[in-house]
Amino acid sequence: MPKIYYKSVEEIELIRKSSLLVSKALAEIANVIDVGVKTIDLDSLAETVIRDNGGVPAFLNYNGFPSSLCISVNDQVVHGFPGKYELKDGDIVSVDCGVVLDKFFGDSAYTFSIGTVDPATTELLKVTKECLEKGIEKAVAGLYVGDIGYAIQSHAENHGYGVVKELVGHGVGVKLHEKPEVPNYGKPGTGAKLEVGMVLAIEPMINQGRAGVKFWKDGWTVSTVDGRPSAHYEHTVAVKAEKADVLSTFEGIEKALKQKSE
């Protein structure tokens, strides 16, 4: 069985650099994402930002994935392909980005609202982001992976949402996906024990309707079984003794979105 790879302080700083480059690419996406924009154009923008800053897109050619971003619209949960689709008023779009910089990976995702999104879907996005925050609160040494999952699951289900169980968060480091897996559901006190030096990608995938998903014949795209919307947010996080250290950031994204709305 693969072991958990514990990172040194220096290695965590390298992962922070990678994660902040992911955040920078997502902030550039936030500047331009809008009604009428083709998702393939967002993909090429992200690749340019990553390469211009000395990084390599982590998803491009990963197990054959053809793009730098996973772009998943409306009922698509994750791993959607960028393409000629033009974003429409009322869409929601999960944009997931990964970077390799100095041999270490960073990974983060944000779900964007396009134009005027209906109140029920806006609430889904709000609660899913809260699920991420509640999961991060449990990424503390001495707790367990199950504590993270339980915090996410209970908050989502208290709002009547379905928690995707087929796809999970993961360790991050010299590989994009390392041990341990970090499900968005679980029981407190179960799973791998959290220790200083663990770096995790925590990524709630929450459905407005049923929890179930279907896998497309393209081998990648995952969507909800009932065609209702799904939201997805992700941070790369280092486990610490008292409070998790969030290595990626949404600050640039939210600053850009605020400026556009003013």
Q: Does residue 3 lie within any of the structural domains? A: no
What is the rounded CA–CA span in Å between residue 47 and residue 185?
A: 33
How do residues 107-128 score in pLDDT, each as one tens digit?
999 999 999 999 999 999 999 9
Q: Does residue 20 lie within any of the structural domains? A: yes
Burial-class residue 12 by CB neighbours within 10 Å (0-12, 13-18, 19+).
buried
pTM comes to 0.97
Q: Does residue 1 lie within any of the structural domains? A: no
Q: Tokens 């799973």 correspond to what residue? A: 191
Residue 124's domain spans which residues? 9-261
What's 250's DSSP letter? S
Closest C-alpha among 135, 219, 178, 240 to residue 4? 178
What is the rounded CA–CA span in Å between residue 60 and residue 80?
A: 13
What is the rounded CA–CA span in Å between residue 65 and residue 182?
A: 22
Q: Does residue 94 lie within any of the structural domains? A: yes
Cβ atoms of residues 241 and 140 within 8 Å? yes
What is the rounded CA–CA span in Å between residue 198 and residue 6?
A: 5
pLDDT beneath 70, residues of the chain: 1
The total of structural domains in the chain comes to: 1
Q: Does residue 155 lie within any of the structural domains? A: yes
Cβ atoms of residues 256 and 27 within 8 Å? yes
Q: Does residue 139 lie within any of the structural domains? A: yes
Cβ atoms of residues 214 and 222 within 8 Å? yes
Q: Tell me whether strands 222-224 and 235-238 are parallel, antiparallel or unpaired.
A: unpaired
- The CATH number of the domain holding residue 160 is 3.90.230.10
